[in-house]
Amino acid sequence: MACSIEEYIPGVIYLVEYPIHFGGMDLFSRMTIVRLSDRKLWLHSPCKLDAALKSEIDRLGEVAYIIAPGNFHHRYVADLQAEYPNAETFLCPGLEKKRADLRFDWILGNRPDPRWEPDFEQALIQGTRMINEVAFLHKPTRTLILVDLLENIGDDYTHEAGLLLRFWWKAVFHMWNHPKPAPEYQLGWGDKEIVKKALERILSWEFERIIIAHGNLIETDAKAVATKAWENVLKA
Ligand SMILES: [Fe+2]
């Protein structure tokens, strides 16, 4: 399947949805491309590029940063590095061990790199057992960018959802039509006090939409949707 770029926030944020096969399920993931205030490109949760997609990206500008924002979102980092050898790679903590084969320049933390500080705020989700990520707030557009802290799949999902996906989402995790964290979060919140602090920090940010990796974007009542989805941890 050929993937192409959707211009989401004109001139600033671009999205690419791409199919993945994970845990026996077929679903989609999403790459986010942000044009920073210095005009350089920041590629978040990258997908595999074909020639057409690469030329679309190259028309947007210079790829300066490759971001692997979660410990489950690293699959195509090496492909991107091969295409953009001068870009710097930033990994979610833990990936340096899980993917010891990956070359990287920096580990992401709670503070933005000084070069993208005008554009982003960021928060590390830690204390969890299986899955973690770094959340980003794109300040100029009030856009929260997550990967797995919220998934939004239900009747209005813009892709076909297979039987296995429907079973897990409906019968097991009760997250069909109800945006919730990825199952790997729900199965092991770990130290909820630590996680809660990070979620509260995210909720203190000014945002009006949420880009997520799996499912439909959250563009209405975004902060209320996130608060509801994370209520089990926030109440801890
Ligand atoms: Fe994911």
Ligand 1 centroid, distance to 213 Cα (angstroms): 6
Q: How far is the CA of 76 from the centre of ligand 1 (A)?
A: 13
CA distance 166 to 196: 29
Distance (angstroms) between ligand 1 centre and the Cα of 108 equals 17
- The pLDDT value given to residue 37: 98
For residue 161, the model assigns a pLDDT of 85
Query: Do 153 and 214 contact (CB within 8 A), yes or no?
Result: yes
Query: pTM for the whole thing?
Result: 0.96
Q: How far is the CA of 33 from the centre of ligand 1 (A)?
A: 17
pLDDT of 236 reads 85
Q: Please give all residues whose CB falls under 5 A of ion ligand 1, grouped by chain where several chains appear.
A: 72, 148, 213
List, run by run, the mean pLDDT of 10-residue segments along the chain (236 residues). Answer: 90 96 89 98 96 97 98 96 98 97 98 97 97 98 98 90 89 92 96 98 98 97 98 94
- Radius of gyration of the chain from its Cα atoms, rounded to whole angstroms: 17
pLDDT at 24: 85
Q: How many Å apart are CA 31 and CA 87, to the nearest integer?
A: 16
For the beta carbon of residue 38, count every other beta carbon within 10 angstroms: 12
Task: Give the pLDDT of residue 1.
Answer: 65
What integer pLDDT is reported at residue 193 of this predicted model?
97
79 in Cβ contact with 50 (< 8 Å): no
